[in-house]
Amino acid sequence: MQTDILLLSQEETHPFYSGVNSYFLDPLLAPPALPLKKFSAAPPLGITLLASALRREGFTALPLYNFFSREKEKERLLEELEKKPFAAGLSTTHTFRPETLRAAAELVKKISPKTVLIAGGPGAEWNEDLRPAGGYTALGPGEGALTELLRALRAGADPAGVANLILPDGKPSPGARRPPPQLESLPFPDWGLYPAAPRGVAVQGSRGCSRACGFCSYSAPYDARSAASVLAELRRNRNLWGIRRFRFTDSDFAGDPARALEICRGLEEDGGFAWTCFARADSLLRPGLAPALRRAGCQWVFLGVESGSDEMLRAMDKGCGAEAMRAGIAAAKSAGLGTHGNFVVGYPGETRATLAETLAFVKGAGLDTVYFSPFQIRSPGIPALARAQGGLSGGREGWSHATMSSGEMLKYAREIGEEISSDPGAPLLGSEALFSLFSEGEGEAYRANVLEFFGAFRRWHAGRRSGNGAELALARKTMEKHL
């Protein structure tokens, strides 16, 4: 039987992050490269949820991921293409390079020329170079638009009547944008769609963000599921597939304290779950919330600190200052949670002086791991660009403002990373993506594994700087143990 649609995702690093991420990739890929099978251990939530929603509507949908980097998955894709699927959906949530999307589209068309190409995800919405030639692009979350488009194409109806599309001629479909279906109305992701169910998965308790930080833009309004719905999904994952490890993708899991506490109570009563989440540091100041997260099985919180400079935090519209950030980190640490700080480098107004404040904050706030994210203009809708804050101009390929250019920013980001890496008293450089590689152990065992794993990267770079081959070998041996 012909498959209605293949949903394809190929993960890659955004070009802006290449210089920063080389800190992690160089040790892993230095000959002989370490085995990186766990990079592909967890299927993407987006295509899994979309396939589940389409199947509920009567379509046969099959998700496949990382087919360019996993030989067995490419074999599966080629086998499915030989069956001549009606359509192929190309996700751009984790694909950033036009050449990657073109390669996927060309592979589909080479084997199945009549298959309809449909792109979706934030990349295709914001960047016309990530839209397939002669194909369609679904705007915003695809559960509504993609379902309607497939129905129209199957029935031979005019797809121009479907909202939230870019048509093959490059023009948007007529009419106003429609809001996406509410999260509460969607089915739970079916992790049984893969040859083997994953050990750990992502869970989307909410979508979008209720805040409006100047560097960020969401294509969908904020929408949160009920605590009961989230708990039901987690219990289903455990009962059907034995999945007890997960990470919340919510932009701020703790942003609605009452809802967060209800979820935590349910997880604590069940027991046996281990998870991580994103949260604003000031959200953790609600009395009792951080300890509730820990009792419920939360092991690490990823905090959007963004800067250690009050001047920059005000410019970003973060809604709190550095002192509140320190207090939130302290609350998490006192509850026994691991803490990771994400920082944005190069926002309009950034100078060497504000970067020095951020470095001082990083070294003194008590964080366990940190990451320095280069400021980028991925979406033309970010508030900073819309209001030309600080003289900001440019786009995806590069930008400038009154105090810095993107080229200078990338240099500073590397310098900061080098300084933190060289300071044994500073937090370890860590990557959210790499956290998902091992996730072994609970409580103190998990913490020890995290620190040992990311500590091995620091050790490798110290060995590289000193030319100590024994240190390099020992560091890689430690990484391999966790991989």
CATH code (residue 11): 3.40.50.2300
Same domain, 407 and 366: yes
Tokens of 39: 């990079």
Quick one: pLDDT band at residue 158, thresholds 50, 70, 90? very high
Same domain, 104 and 225: no
Contacts of 373 (CB under 8 A, 6+ apart): 17, 20, 342, 343, 344, 345
Same domain, 145 and 238: no
Q: Show which of 124, 144, 166 is a domain's final residue.
A: 166
Containing 20, the helix (H) or strand (E) segment is helix 18-29
Same domain, 211 and 123: no
CB distance 131 to 119 below 8 Å = yes
Quick one: pLDDT band at residue 378, thresholds 50, 70, 90? confident
Same domain, 130 and 212: no
3-state SS assignment for residue 341: strand
Tokens of 33: 């490269």
Same domain, 156 and 213: no
Same domain, 58 and 132: yes
Q: Which pLDDT score is estimated for 440?
A: 67
Tens of pLDDT, residues 417-445: 999 999 999 999 998 878 865 556 777 88
Same domain, 146 and 211: no
Same domain, 276 and 392: yes
CATH number at residue 230: 3.20.20.70
Q: Is residue 344 part of a domain?
A: yes
Q: Which pLDDT score is estimated for 32?
A: 85
CB distance 39 to 437 below 8 Å = yes
For residue 250, how far is the Cα from the chain centroid? Answer: 10
Tokens of 88: 């192929």
Q: Is residue 446 part of a domain?
A: no
Tokens of 114: 């009549």
Q: Show which of 117, 149, 166 is a domain's final residue.
A: 166
Q: Is residue 67 part of a domain?
A: yes
Q: Show which of 124, 151, 166 is a domain's final residue.
A: 166
What distance in Å separates the CA atoms of residue 483 and residue 475, rounded to the nearest whole number?
Answer: 13
Same domain, 425 and 352: yes
Tens of pLDDT, residues 159-204: 999 999 999 999 999 987 888 899 999 999 999 999 999 989 999 9
Number of domains in the chain: 2
Tens of pLDDT, residues 78-120: 999 999 999 999 999 999 999 999 999 999 999 999 999 999 9
Same domain, 120 and 255: no
Q: Is the pTM of this model over 0.85?
A: yes
**DSSP code of 19?**
H
CB distance 251 to 208 below 8 Å = yes
Q: Is residue 334 part of a domain?
A: yes
Evaluate if residue 465 carries a pLDDT over 90. Answer: yes
Q: Is residue 477 part of a domain?
A: no
Q: Is residue 104 part of a domain?
A: yes
Q: Which pLDDT score is estimated for 482?
A: 83
Domain that holds residue 337: 199-439
Angle (deg, nearest 10), helices 406-422 and 352-364 = 30
DSSP characters over 421-442: HH-TTSPEE--HHHHHHH--S-
Same domain, 162 and 210: no
CB distance 446 to 274 below 8 Å = yes
Helices (H), 198-351: 227-241, 257-270, 289-295, 310-315, 322-334
